[in-house]
Copies of this chain bind each other. A is one copy, B any other.
Amino acid sequence: MVVSVRDVAAAASVSVGTVSNVLNRPEKVSPATVERVTQAIEELGFVRNDAARQLRAGRSRSIALIVLDAGNPFFAEVARGAEDRAAESGMSVLLGNSDERSDREDAYLELFREQRVNGVLVTPVDRDLDRLARLHAGGVPVVLVDHEDAERSFGSVSVDDVEGGYVAVSHLLSTGRRRIAFIGGPGTIRQVADRLEGARRAVAQTDGATLEVVEMPALSVLQGRAAGELLRDRPAAERPDGVFAANDLLAVGALQAFTLMADLQVPRDIALIGYDDIDFAAATVVPLSSIRQPAHLIGYTAVDLLLKELDEPDGEHERTVRFQPELVVRESTAG
């Protein structure tokens, strides 16, 4: 029923070795034989068994990518970048969604180890990298995505979130805002903590500027809206005049809350800036200023680092790449 190289070999009256050569090194085989074998493959409907191939090779031809939230447009774009680079080298990407849960991250890690992936790209859920370190020690290249490794023990592709937070709030301050609010998620998430740190620095440099922190349980539109309502419903004098949201989903939610109050206008009364510059940001009612991260490039570069590591494990190539975030000004912070 299932057609193997052996069957193809028999049908084409050649040895199995020749069939394999036709499949993998056709230039080593005479044109006539290639033709004969190709035809046999066609006729029998032969499909290579990848498991056997991998078993022999000892490695697969895939790369694992574990992200915090596959539904987030930012990570969707990172994944696309990773796929693009992998495809260039004939590899494929296996996507895992940890949903910000450590146990799910572990489960995927285990699964991918059994699959003998060539390497793992991961946006770690927490800062405990022990498991990853063990994986790495076990010979599996690891590249951190959107996360920097303090000890430099494995590769990483990151964006300077402290700088991003600094740029965002500096921009708000430069438009004359002084009462700044930061809408963030759980402080345990590194990205959130770093962006807040940057915000703090910017505020500290400006006389009369204040910063308050609104911490929400998740980085979602719904939570952003709740946070926005909280701020909006205060007496006008106590409202912030500039809001920095830790990501665009939160910003979009906050924007909705603000827009629904008739006498409150963005950016006239409150300026608002988000983070990530997802496609939606340019398409909200009041187009949203944001901090752009090169999502596609992050994924692309991460795979690139991984492939270099695979090619020459002890080579002198770059192991850490850090991008600078970029301010994108739109209407929500005008004037």
Contacts and interface: CB of A to CB of B under 8 A. Distances in A.
Contacts of A259: 285
Given A221-B283, A285-B259, A114 B70 contact: no
A283 B225 contact: yes
A257 B274 CA distance: 21
A47 interface: yes
A124 interface: no
Interface string A109-139: 0110111100000000000000000000011
- Nearest 6 pairs between A and B by C-beta? A51-B54, A50-B114, A51-B55, A71-B76, A221-B283, A51-B51
A115 B50 contact: yes
A323 interface: no
A279 B220 CA distance: 10
A259 B114 CA distance: 53
Contact of A95 (B48, B58, B95, B116): B95
Given A55-B52, A92-B111, A114-B47, A256 B285 contact: yes
Contacts of A2: 58
In the assembly, how many copies of this chain are there?
2
A184 to B, nearest CB: 19
B70 A116 contact: no
A222 interface: yes
17 contacts: A2-B58, A45-B138, A47-B114, A47-B138, A49-B55, A51-B55, A52-B55, A70-B70, A70-B76, A71-B76, A83-B97, A92-B111, A221-B279, A221-B280, A252-B283, A253-B283, A260-B285
Given A50-B115, A285-B259, A55 B55 contact: yes
A60 interface: yes
B283 A114 contact: no
Interface of A: 1-2, 45, 47-52, 54-55, 58, 60, 70-71, 73, 76-77, 79-80, 83, 92, 94-95, 97, 110-111, 113-116, 138-139, 221-222, 225, 252-253, 256, 259-260, 279-280, 283-285
A80 B79 CA distance: 16
Contacts of A45: 138
A4 to B, nearest CB: 11
Most interface-central of A51, A58, A116, A285 (chain B CB within 10 A):
A51
A54 B70 CA distance: 28
Nearest to A72: B76
A253 to B, nearest CB: 7
Given A49-B116, A113-B47, A70 B79 contact: yes
Given A70-B79, A71-B73, A285-B285, A49 B95 contact: no
